Amino acid sequence: MDLHVRYEGDDDPDKCTVRKLERFSLAELHRSDRATPYGVVLNPHADVALSPADADASRLVALDCSWETAGEAMFSIAGEHRALPFLVAANPVNYGNAFQLTTVEALAAALVILGDREHAEAILAKFTWGETFLELNAEPLARYADCEDSSDVVAVQDDYLVDEPDAAE
Reported as a single tens digit per residue, the pLDDT across 92-112 is 999 999 999 999 999 999 999
From CA 138, how far away is CA 51, in angstroms rounded?
16
Say which amino acid occupies 92.
P
pLDDT at residue 168 in the model: 46
Nearest CA among 137, 122, 131 for reference residue 20: 122
Burial of 4 (0-12, 13-18, 19+ CB in 10 A): buried
Q: How far is CA 96 from CA 69, 73, 99, 167, in A?
A: 23, 26, 9, 11
Q: Which residue has the higher pLDDT, 166 or 142?
A: 142
Per DSSP (E only), the strands in the chain are: 2-7, 28-30, 39-42, 59-64, 79-82
Give percent of the chain above pLDDT 90: 76
Between 138-145 and 103-113, two packed helices, what is the crossing angle to 10 degrees? 50
